[in-house]
Amino acid sequence: MSLSYVMASADSPWSTYLAQIERVLPYLGGLARWADTLRRPKRTLVVDVPIEMDDGSVRHFEGYRVQHSLTRGPGKGGVRYHPDVTLEEVMALAAWMTIKTAAVNLPFGGAKGGVRVDPVRLSIKELEKLTRRYTSEIGIIIGPHQDIPAPDVNTNAQVMAWMMDTYSMNVGATTTGVVTGKPLHLGGSLGRVKATGRGVFITGREAARRLNLDLNGATVAVQGFGNVGSAAAELFHQAGARIVAVQDQDGSIADPRGLDLAALVPHVRAHGSVAGFTHAEPIDAEAFWDVDCDILIPAALEGQLDAQRARRVKARLVLEGANGPTLPGADDILAERGVLVVPDVICNAGGVTVSYFEWVQDFSSFFWNEDEVNLRLDRIMVDALRRIWDTADRHRIALRTATFAVACERILMAREERGLYP
């Protein structure tokens, strides 16, 4: 791929991010002179990840680690294992992390990683080998003060444990703060697993108040039922909402009376998908976007909500649990239709916020209880959203542009104050 980062493939996540940057430029004043630092990742690393398979053959996988910005602190961002991972995608995800950490005012920059692999096709031993070799390859740029990975699509606490152990063995000292999202007994934080979904709920709760939408009796449709989608669904259900549709990569189900989450969650845990759930009606994948609901939560992959689907959405409120799920054209259509979109860079920032808590706890070796974690998360998310909403009201702009305005001002002010070296 060309290293001309200002260019991007049409409809790619990177092109979506660049379009979002263009929309925020009029609100940056004199800081706009530094805007090119937002359009160009600071560092990209492409690595070969060879491993010996269980059958004795050797396979090579391509891995990435992108550090978009380190201006406000160490890089922060997850690692995903997916057969469709590309460098452009990882660049965009790293850039969104830069915006996200600044939006909630965490002392981090933005980074992201990935390996192009279908982890379902690997044994546990092969997955461990892949993780350890990938960690060793990117070890030259990660560290508790440089860049801190975390779980993302198809990675989890076990993968983080392998990464932490590999890095620690290579530097000769146990370094729990090199990753977040670890198992509790290896320096993980209570509340981390459901933090992203909880953040979606917190921002959704605040947005519903603005819309005078009572969550008790509200209807919710969720795309993606992993850690984010399932946690958000459970919290909305506890608040009295009905989850009327769920979609994942293998199936879509609906029930206007409300899905039985107590039965659905263990079904997904056992079978890996909502497909085959007998207590709801299976629906066509495209029909999911026509479901009658008050709140839509896209919590799967990027680029899911395009212009065509945006015209069909019946929800009053869209909560972006995934990164980059709404294309710029769809944003415009939803705005014209009066649909409120709470953007990913604030809506799903609960995960990185509790990752920050975990990082802080690792350095101090003093750990908080779950109530304290959740209380601190709620306070930070509400305060950040209030600042963003004030900006949106003042300029009469969409929440996404307002979030970028708040975040980019912080990033570019730090860039200006640090200056250029040499």
Please report the pLDDT score of residue 361 as a whole number: 97
User: Cβ atoms within 10 A of the Cβ of 254, count?
Assistant: 21
User: Does domain 195-342 sit in CATH 3.40.50.720?
Assistant: yes
Three-state secondary structure call for residue 144: coil
Longest dimension (CA), the chain: 64
pLDDT at position 90 over 80:
yes
pLDDT at position 6 over 70:
no
Backbone angles phi, psi at 60, to 5 degrees: -115, 135
The sign of the dihedral angle between the CA atoms of 21, 328, 385, 234 is: negative
* Secondary structure (DSSP) of 13-74: HHHHHHHHHHHHGGGSGGGGGGTHHHHS-SEEEEEEEEEE-TTS-EEEEEEEEEEEE-SSSS
Beta bridge pairs of residue 248:
251
Q: How confident is the model at residue 70 (pLDDT cuts 50, 70, 90)?
A: very high
Tokens of 152: 């993302």
pLDDT at position 266 over 80:
yes
Q: What are the extents of the domains in the chain? A: 13-175, 195-342
pLDDT at position 211 over 50:
yes
Tokens of 200: 């979606």
Please report the pLDDT score of residue 4 as a whole number: 45
Is 195-342 the same fold as 13-175? yes
Tokens of 280: 């709801």
Calculate the CA dihedral of residues 294, 295, 300, 304 and round it to 10 degrees. Answer: 60
Q: Which of 53-57, 217-221, 226-230, 347-351 has the lowest mean pLDDT?
A: 226-230
User: Cβ atoms within 10 A of the Cβ of 118, count?
Assistant: 11
Please report the pLDDT score of residue 336 as a whole number: 95
Q: What is the pLDDT of residues 108-123, one digit of tens each?
A: 999 999 999 999 999 9
Type and span of the H or E element at 264? helix 261-271
Beta strands in 303-413 (DSSP E): 317-319, 340-342
Please report the pLDDT score of residue 10 as a whole number: 66
Nearest to 104 by CA among 376, 341, 392, 419: 376
pLDDT at position 7 over 60:
no
What average pLDDT does the structure give for the chain? 95
Q: What is the pLDDT of residues 141-190, one digit of tens each?
A: 999 999 999 999 899 999 999 999 999 999 999 999 999 999 999 999 99
pLDDT at position 2 over 50:
no
Residue 71 Cα to chain centre, angstroms: 20
Answer yes or no: are the C-beta atoms of 36 and 16 closer than 8 Å: no
Q: What is the pLDDT of residues 385-408, one digit of tens each?
A: 999 999 999 999 999 999 999 999
Q: What is the pLDDT of residues 321-363, one digit of tens each?
A: 998 899 989 999 999 999 999 999 999 999 999 999 999 999 9
Q: What is the pLDDT of residues 189-207, one digit of tens each?
A: 999 999 999 999 999 999 9
Backbone angles phi, psi at 306, to 5 degrees: -95, -175
pTM beyond cutoff 0.95: no
Q: What is the pLDDT of residues 369-383, one digit of tens each?
A: 999 999 999 999 999
Q: What is the pLDDT of residues 290-325, one digit of tens each?
A: 999 999 999 988 889 999 999 999 999 999 999 889
User: Does domain 13-175 sit in CATH 3.40.50.10860?
Assistant: yes
Which ranges in 31-156 belong to alpha helices (H)?
A: 36-39, 87-103, 124-138
Backbone angles phi, psi at 285, to 5 degrees: -60, -40
- C-alpha to C-alpha distance for 148 and 417, rounded to whole angstroms: 24
- C-alpha to C-alpha distance for 31 and 270, rounded to whole angstroms: 51
Catalytic, out of 112, 129, 182, 194: 112
Tokens of 399: 């929440």
- Mean pLDDT value of segment 71-78: 97
Residue with tokens 């979109």: 341
Please report the pLDDT score of residue 56 as a whole number: 98
Q: Is 182 a catalytic residue?
A: no
Please report the pLDDT score of residue 346 as a whole number: 96
Which distant-in-sequence residues (6+ apart) come within 8 Å of 414 by Cβ?
Answer: 71, 72
Q: How confident is the model at residue 1 (pLDDT cuts 50, 70, 90)?
A: very low
- C-alpha to C-alpha distance for 347 and 210, rounded to whole angstroms: 15
Cβ-based burial of 227 (10 A; exposed 0-12, middle 13-18, buried ≥19) = buried
